[in-house]
Structure 1
């Protein structure tokens, strides 16, 4: 797990001091070692977090023995030992015990055709210096980030946006339409970037091209998941559970491979506790780590203790620094782009504390998307009848009632009027530009261009037209919420503290298997993850497999209702600040902050988004203003 950066083109950076300055911006991603290599029309830089083969043999960028090929590899290929054995049988000889060298030699033999054989999370750059060709790749699900910037005929790339911004003369011109996405969703879709001229390589995509014409290379998809509609005949339920158990067990086994300590981030939920149970069943005895939120509904410390005793695992309770609204500045520093998922705060603090125990952490990320764990999946099962009503009738109800309803109910009614079942795309968050609270915050130059939902939400949702609502929701979350919210949060929080986060539920084999499951094995009108609960029933206490999903949040309402919280928000959002002028509507923010005592979850989310946007502007916008 590391960080990389580089440039292709006739003006590719060569000055060691400039390269080192860029490297320092992502030192946190790889504090153990750093390196760079340059050649005619190319430069590669790297920061290393040593996980496999801790010796100097793991130094990157890594060259082939004849010097023709070079690679900078960020991430892990979990099945590298199996691939290594194949290559040894074919006559290859290795100089290190790293997965990076396995990937290098596989690419030397097979080129881009090798991508389908890699089981892991990664972003890497591979160069054939003789043929003057390159290959840039991001993993299937987008666990590892990769930013791009085209400069004339050249191309720059980096693991984090801050590294690209460190180039001399790098632009910071605000992409104003991106504000619509952020104020609506609380994060930015992969299809956009907060600054003009920058982009992200999509999950499951690669770039191939000529070193001498790199700026013209276009991404192509090498893998995608398709959630099958709920009309396929399954095998027997028992056989399905048995196959899933074998897949998950193997995914856990592969992710236990490490030359540094491995621990499990364990709450009291089904996903992380099932990972712990499968790790223990494989003969491993990793330490389980849990974080408590004393007095909060989200606290699951007691349940984690019960699970640890049941499995015979050592449990360490992490001392978490008290979180507060002031943490917004730290989040702005590590995220580079506005990111307002409130659970980023506890995630950041947990990784900070966990780093004292282990370098590799196993998590339950991806379990909700694969197996229908989010509340919105269950809610849509309950409210299917809403979609049967004519849209004109739903719109008439919204028009007649919205003035007499509170913000939360008004928002739900507004969602119910969306065409084509779009309610499924925004059911568990704001995500609705038409909603009055969001609309009131939009800058005047953008309010007139805003539709019902952000353009990327509409595009991704329409791509699954014709399927049942649950299949559409799961497909949508794989395209947007998982890569652009969940995995961004996990990557930035873990790498900020030089830790590697691995999730067995993000094994592509598990994802592909779950995508073929019928809905009846996933969600009822009471709870989700039915098939996972069945697996957990055999291994874990009843309170786990029968319990409700608690989530991973923070008490935003309570913070903002408190006198200190309200004062903090007013000072940040209503003061005259040239940097933030025009990022949101000041009158809309004033109305939002008027009645803190009656503040609900809906308003608290919107205020938090404004605080995040303010902190981001103070951190990343040039002091002379934006262009």
Structure 2
């Protein structure tokens, strides 16, 4: 089977990458009426978290607390990539391209690992043609306008595809494979007194912050609860059946 993994990371196909442009873009009206000192303070804060990412798409505080807890090296990678693109202007383009590079290091690794496990479990050979070395090198050096233009992600890729595929397929709305919110409703309760809390050495206040975030953000909740379940399976000796019952119990308790 052929899969399109890598195209979003290389050609700017994710919504959170595009939202980064709005973070850094300054309209002429804001430049005219907003004091320079206020603008400088805003961008100084942005440099610590220069773009949005797939781990948490809320406020910068939400994103940083998850990154520091789960993948602190990726948190620092944001600023490193932004700094490496010094010279790219305007800054909104610089942050957008840094976001695409970041997803190559983080989000794509997660997807490829998942694909490998799923395909091998079904004895299926899976290939990723967008991750051919020459194509990666070509795409990494493209300017922002060839990746995101006219509010369209993967702009260049879609222009090429118009010669081969129906337009309605190329410009169809992006539709991810998401889990039902009902599956994880209330499961943040599993984090209290769990293995993940002890493994990460979270304080009581940090745990409360993460549980509050898990209650409001499904993507964060699925990651945190998923890690807790893995630890219970492989360290706690629990069975899939007992975990299923625990999930049902938490869901019932949340109603």
Task: Confirm or deny a common fold (TM above 0.5).
Answer: yes
Unaligned runs of 5+ in 2: 89-93, 238-255
Which has more radius of gyration?
Answer: 1
Tell me which residue corresponds to 2:84.
463
Unaligned runs of 5+ in 1: 1-360, 398-414
Please say if 1:611 is aligned against 2:225.
yes
Call closer, same or farther: CA 1:586–1:500 in 2, change over 3 Å.
Answer: farther
Matching residue within 515, 519, 528 for 2:140? 515
Equivalents in 2 of 1:592, 1:533: separation in Å?
A: 39
Please say if 1:478 is aligned against 2:104.
yes
Tell me which residue corresponds to 2:164.
539
Q: Secondary structure at the match of 1:501?
A: coil
Higher helix share: 2
Measure how far apart 1:502 and its partner are. Answer: 0.5
Instruction: State the Cα RMSD in Å.
Output: 4.2
Matching residue within 5, 9, 12 for 1:372? 12
- The answer (yes or no) to whether the contact 2:50–2:82 under 8 Å persists in 1 is no
- The answer (yes or no) to whether the contact 1:371–1:532 under 8 Å persists in 2 is yes
Equivalents in 2 of 1:541, 1:524: separation in Å?
A: 20
Equivalents in 2 of 1:379, 1:469: separation in Å?
A: 10
Q: Secondary structure at the match of 2:25?
A: helix
- The answer (yes or no) to whether the contact 1:441–1:589 under 8 Å persists in 2 is no
User: Under a length normalisation based on structure 1, what TM-score does the superposition of the two structures give?
Assistant: 0.31
Q: Map 1:415-454 to 2 at 5 A.
A: 417-419=45-47, 422-424=49-51, 426-430=52-56, 435=61, 439=65, 454=75
Equivalents in 2 of 1:509, 1:472: separation in Å?
A: 20
Q: Deviations over 1:488-508 (max 9, x none)?
A: 222222223332210211111
* Number of aligned residues: 225
Q: Map 1:111-510 to 2 at 5 A.
A: 361-386=1-26, 393=38, 417-419=45-47, 422-424=49-51, 426-430=52-56, 435=61, 439=65, 454-467=75-88, 468-482=94-108, 484-510=109-135
Higher strand share: 1
Equivalents in 1 of 2:229, 2:179: separation in Å?
A: 18
- The answer (yes or no) to whether the contact 1:461–1:472 under 8 Å persists in 2 is yes
Q: Secondary structure at the match of 1:552?
A: coil
User: Under a length normalisation based on structure 2, what TM-score does the superposition of the two structures give?
Assistant: 0.67
Equivalents in 2 of 1:553, 1:480: separation in Å?
A: 19
Q: Deviations over 1:269-322 (max 9, x none)?
A: xxxxxxxxxxxxxxxxxxxxxxxxxxxxxxxxxxxxxxxxxxxxxxxxxxxxxx
- The answer (yes or no) to whether the contact 1:381–1:524 under 8 Å persists in 2 is no
Tell me which residue corresponds to 1:620.
234
